Amino acid sequence: MIVNADLHIHSCFSMATSKDMLIDNIAPQAKLKGLQLMGTGDALHPGWLDIIEKSTEYVGGGIYSTEHCDFILTSEIEGEKKIHHLVIIPNIEIAKEIGDKLVSNNKYKDGRPRAKMNGKEIMDLAKEYDCLVGPAHAFTPWTGMYKTFDSIIDCYGRAPDFLELGLSADTDMADTIEELQNIPFLSNSDAHSPWPHRLGREFNQIELQDISFESLKSSIKNNKIKANYGLVPNLGKYHMTACTKCYKLIDPNLAIKNKMKCSCGGTIKRGVDFRISQIATWDTPHHPSHRPPYIHLLPLAEIISMVYDKGVTTKTVQGKWKELIDNIGNEIEILIDAPIDTISKVNEDLVPAIESFRNRSLYINPGGGGKYGEISFDEKLAEKKVEKDNNVTLDNF
């Protein structure tokens, strides 16, 4: 069977996360998105495990089921040097044991525990319990593994089970790095709220023998990921080198020369695009034969927001989104497979936008410094937006 899976989200117990991140909200929204398998996130937090047990039915094989979708236990762990690691866990009993062994002074203060352990120690603990483990959003400048290490082996001592690309990178970018040739890539949302413009904004299409931990483990290890779906990388909020205060895009060499301080007084964060160029083996991607395609995706609500020039969470946008879902199907089907004639019968205004998304003719003002990129129909408007935001080069710092 082919399953759409988003394996990295957070619960209401994590910092900067919506109080609505509960199973009873996540599950129906996942179904509307078109996802069949969800990671629980935060599976080392006792309070979240209690909610999982009360809100789902354990059907065996490490799967906790609802009427809308299935869940598998996952957790992000912040280790030494503030590096984030993603762990996929066989069952609740093992999650509790790992939580007990995690070296941390305040492990249950946050849904994402902070451990006094390096990557090798976290991997060893995960492997002791037959978990899957790899770097979360590996290239991001705050908490990605490559912000600190030039090699994945330097972090873990051996190859991890997978590497999570993160919202600001895709397969083309990661496959310029030779050491990643034999490592499977995951694309997950890292959602902090349950709404479909966040949930499943990146996901994996995986061939599974059945829905179980062992089947997922086998599929990841044996290259049964059929496709990675995710944002166009320059929409990611850390794609370009930029100031975290004024969000100006800044030439990376100039940023380094100025000790990562912006002229406004803010801190400059090295973009994923530049970081990958620093550690890349090749100028162009070298995709191994087992690498699945990476299919760029945009949240449907973001497209509706652009067309109507209204905020994503406004009644206008959410109403148009629900009308499409009610009349056509889940969001993934609408974005990728639904005939244009079918979409036109529900909302003719959106047809040019959906067509532009599918033929990749939308223009993007890239993100950086913690601000997401913006999409536009009009190249000139996009260029004006870049000029307005003062894209800083060596000539105009």
Q: What is the pLDDT of residues 87-138, one digit of tens each?
A: 999 999 999 999 999 999 888 899 999 999 999 999 999 999 999 999 999 9
Residues in Cβ contact with 284 at an 8 Å cutoff, skipping those fewer than 6 apart? 176
In angstroms, rounded to a whole number, what is the distance separating the alpha carbons of residues 291 and 368?
27
Instruction: Give CA–CA dist 66/106, Å, rounded.
Output: 31
> How are beta strands 70-78 and 37-39 bridged, if at all?
parallel
CA distance 297 to 230: 5
pTM beyond 0.85, yes or no: yes
Beta bridge partners of 65: 57, 70
Q: Distance between the two ends of the chain, CA-based, in angstroms?
A: 54
Residues belonging to the chain: 397
Weakly modelled stretches of the chain, pLDDT under 50? 381-382, 384, 386-389, 393-397
> Residue holding tokens 């959906």?
354
Q: What SS3 state is found at 229?
A: strand
Token pair, residue 12, equals: 């209401």
β-pairing, 203-207 with 185-186? unpaired
Please write the tens of the pLDDT for every residue from 283-301: 999 999 999 999 999 999 9
Query: Which amino acid type is present at position 39?
Result: G
Question: What does the alpha-carbon distance between residue 11 and residue 41 come to, in Å, rounded to a whole number?
Answer: 6
CB-based burial label for 363 (10 Å; 0-12, 13-18, 19+): middle
Q: CA 123 to CA 329: how far, in whole Å?
A: 40
Q: How far is CA 385 from CA 87, 237, 349, in A?
A: 39, 16, 24
Domains and CATH numbers, the chain: 2-234 (3.20.20.140), 299-358 (no CATH)
How many whole angstroms separate alpha carbon 353 and alpha carbon 120?
Answer: 46
- CA 100 vs. chain centroid, Å, equals 28
C-alpha 362/C-alpha 392 separation (Å) is 24
d(CA 212, CA 208): 8
Sign of the dihedral defined by the CA atoms of residues 298, 303, 304, 305, in that order: positive
User: CA angle, 155 as apex, 151 and 158 as ends, to 5°?
Assistant: 85
